[in-house]
Amino acid sequence: MEKIRDYANNKDIKIVGDISIYVCHNSADVWANPEIFQLDSQTLSPAYIAGVPPDYFSATGQLWGNPVYDWDKLEQTNFAWWIERFRATLQYVDIVRIDHFRGFEAYWRVPAGEETAINGEWIKGPDAKFFETLGSTLGSLPVMAEDLGIITPEVEQLRDQFDFPGMRILQFAFGGEADNPYLPHNYIQNCVVYPGTHDNDTTIGWWNQVGEQEKHHVAKYLGYSSPEEIKEINWEFIRMALSSVADLAILSVQDLLDLDSSGRMNDPSVNAGNWRWRYESTDQLTSELSQRLLEITQLYNR
């Protein structure tokens, strides 16, 4: 991995890596450090499990099943386990995307044994203390905040206190009014725009199932008279992302390849059958596609 990073950096390419907020109960991390997780003292099984309340993806919330942290114990060690986790990740990547950033301000915990995430509660997280300690130990923090879901002013304050760029998702932009924060005209520069993330359907898959009201909103926003006039919704979203003021735009290869829901990477409300899609052949990335991407990238100075 270090060789890959060096190769990329020598070509002025930076690698973005991901740190998921939680780890699995059967991981080496929990086995070696049970004291920093909220576990049953006798069986060492989770006393509480992680998730989020009802949201965009699920009416019963998301029940992830991971054990949650004992943040008081972690603070007593100056967050040593987390610091080493960041240090190890930064050996291989240049920028770290923190998954479920809002969980550092407050996290949703559900008693073990529940079948849905509905009967959980918000518990205060380590907040700014964690990132202050992280920064004082590691120096500058090249962090992107995955600030999706139920975001409160406290979460936004935490993100902005450390000048972390948040995320803007175009698939979330067209279900509301003109003040929807995911619409490009509402972006600030210090953000990262995606047509859709790994948790979303592909843009074509999304378009095939989204409601008529949202389709008409998209058409009007793009300057079309009707949704039927839109022939390549994935490239329309790619153009919107690249032409926005967001400092960084991230595109999925599935959208570049014109894939429908068969190319979806992950459905966060479903435990089984995810992460099966694979890019399989260099024949998929044609010279015509390369030229098209080059032209639109240069057009918007990306």
b/e per residue 137-172 (b: at least 16 CB within 10 A): eeeebebbbbbbbeeeeebeebbeeeebbbbbbbbb
In the set 199, 201, 236, 255, the catalytic residue is 199
**Angle between helix 128-138 and helix 153-161 axes, rounded to 10 deg:** 10
Q: How far apart are CA 19 and CA 111, in angstroms?
A: 24
Q: How far apart are CA 190 and CA 166, in angstroms?
A: 7
For residue 21, the one-letter residue type is I
In the set 94, 99, 154, 258, the catalytic residue is 99
6 part of the active site: no
In terms of residues, how long is the chain? 302
146 part of the active site: yes
18 part of the active site: no
Q: Is 190 exposed, middle or buried (0-12, 13-18, 19+ CB in 10 A)?
A: middle
| Nearest alpha-carbon partner for 239 in 175, 298, 161 | 298
Task: Assess contact for 215 and 267: CB atoms under 8 A.
Answer: no
* DSSP H stretches of helix in the chain: 2-10, 28-32, 71-76, 80-89, 128-138, 153-161, 203-209, 212-222, 233-243, 253-256, 287-299
| Nearest alpha-carbon partner for 53 in 100, 120, 152 | 120
Biggest distance spanned by C-alpha atoms of the chain: 65
Task: Assess contact for 74 and 216: CB atoms under 8 A.
Answer: no
Q: How far apart are CA 143 and CA 164, in angstroms?
A: 6
In the set 146, 147, 201, 255, the catalytic residue is 146
Residue numbers annotated as active site: 99, 146, 199
